[in-house]
Each structure stands twice: as C-alpha cells, then as structure tokens.
Amino acid sequence: MYGREIEGKEYTFGVSGKLIRNALVMYDRQTESYWSQILGEAVAGEMQGVKLEFLPSLMTTWEEWQRLHPDTLALDKGGRRGGRDSYAGYYQSGSIGVMGETNPDGRLYAKEFVVGVQLDDTAVAYPFSVLNEEPVVNDTVAGTDLLVLFNADSAASVVYNREVDGRPLTFTLADTPGSQIALTDAETGSEWDGLAGTAIAGPLAGTQLERLKSTTVFWFGWTDFFSETALYGIDS
C-alpha cells in the first residue's frame, strides 16, 4: 500500500494492463506515467524515478483484522464472495507467471511464497516454509535490526524495526491465544501484541514498533526484481 500524495499534490491511479516481470504496472491519471507495484516507483514517463510513500498494511483474515480494529469499516464493491478459489489451479500448476522467470533461482520452488524485504541495496527473502517453523525472526539487514513475524493460521506477516530507544530488542513467542501473536522481549520482559507491534504490558507498555516495508510474493516474482537476494534459513 502506498500514499498517493506527491509533493503536496494528490494523484489518482489505475491499472495499466501491462506487466513488468509478471508484476502489475499502475499508471497515474495526471501524467500517465507508469509505476511498478513492487517497487512503488515510477518506471516510465514524466514521473520516472519518483517513489511513492510506503504505508503499512496487513494481509490477514477478516477475523484477525476485526480483533485489531473492531470499529473498522469494510468497502463492499459487490461481486463474488467466498466460494471456490479461482487461483487454486494456478498455485498447483507448473506455469510461472505470464512471462516465465527472468532470473531462475533453484534455491526454492518457484511458487513458494516468501516475505521479501529490501533495505538500501540489500534484499532478503524469508520463505514461508522456514517461517512455519520459526515464526519469530530476530535478524539484522543492512545495519537495521529486524523483527519478522508470521502467523501460519492466517499467513499474515509483518516486519518491524526492533530497535527501541537506541537499543535492539530480542523477541520470543509467548503463549498465543487464538490467532494473536503474543511476544515478550528479553531485555525488559515487556509483553507485546505482535501483529499490532505494540507493547501491552511491562516497562515498555504503549511503545509502538516501526513497521518496515515488506512484500508477500512468489519466490520467482521476488528474484525477478532482486536477483542478488539473500534467502533466510537457506543460505549459510
């Protein structure tokens, strides 16, 4: 998710119908520049090189979202609800996107989902297969201390900067009622709501971790854009 205000001016976006390396390309109606969905950046036209502001979002179940935001409003545009997953056949097939792979990388099955993170010129992917076994990851990428969280029940993932008041915290999984990811940090013993990134008890109660940009994507889609990516849990 991105903000659509650039230098104080509001832009409106649409789907161009084009793809770059199998990923959606947007256009803005004000300049008709093309924008990469994954990069959040204009790749052609008058706005080329301009980046959109990243806004934190969460792909999760409706139940989990309501727990986090009980007063939320839902946008209903009609159309199909529930029923058969129209993409199920694609997940199981051997076809790779529309255009095939640009940078094949055999370290993972091409259609395994990963949580992709890019900081500066460094890219790292966290495979779902690894996160299923290690749902709380304390990592350091490009000098930034990261916390990567994963909920296998809802496939929700979030990435935070785990530094608070100038020092990195080390998180572990606590008792998890329902689908909530409950954490504690080793440094202060505070209790945290993982998906919200908020300390709910202890010395740091009320503290909010900073969300960092992450992308849930097929492995082939990530390597198409970041051919030099590291692969957490797989690379030595």
Count: domains in the chain = 2
* Pairing mode of beta strands 9-10, 156-161: unpaired
Same domain, 128 and 225: yes
Same domain, 119 and 39: no
Asked if residue 76 is part of any domain, the answer here is no
- Could you list the pLDDT tens digit for every one of the 236 residues in the chain? 999 999 999 999 999 988 888 788 999 999 999 999 988 999 999 999 999 998 988 888 888 888 888 999 988 877 666 656 555 555 565 667 655 567 788 999 999 999 999 998 999 999 999 999 999 999 999 999 999 999 988 889 999 999 999 999 999 998 755 556 899 999 999 999 998 999 999 999 999 999 999 999 999 999 999 999 999 999 86
Same domain, 130 and 208: yes
Q: How far is CA 71 from CA 57, 64, 65, 180, in A?
A: 17, 13, 10, 18
Q: Find the domain containing 173 and state its range.
A: 113-231
* Pick from 14, 13, 33, 37: nearest CA to 25: 37
Q: How far is CA 89 from the centre of its chain?
A: 24
> φ and ψ at 65, to 5 degrees?
-65, -40
CATH number of the domain to which 226 belongs: 2.102.10
Same domain, 117 and 225: yes
Asked if residue 217 is part of any domain, the answer here is yes
Q: Which amino acid is at 61?
A: T
- Provide the 3-class DSSP secondary structure of residue 129: helix
Same domain, 40 and 118: no
The whole model's pTM is what?
A: 0.84
Residue 17 gets the label, from left (phi > 0), alpha (psi -120 to 50) or beta, of left
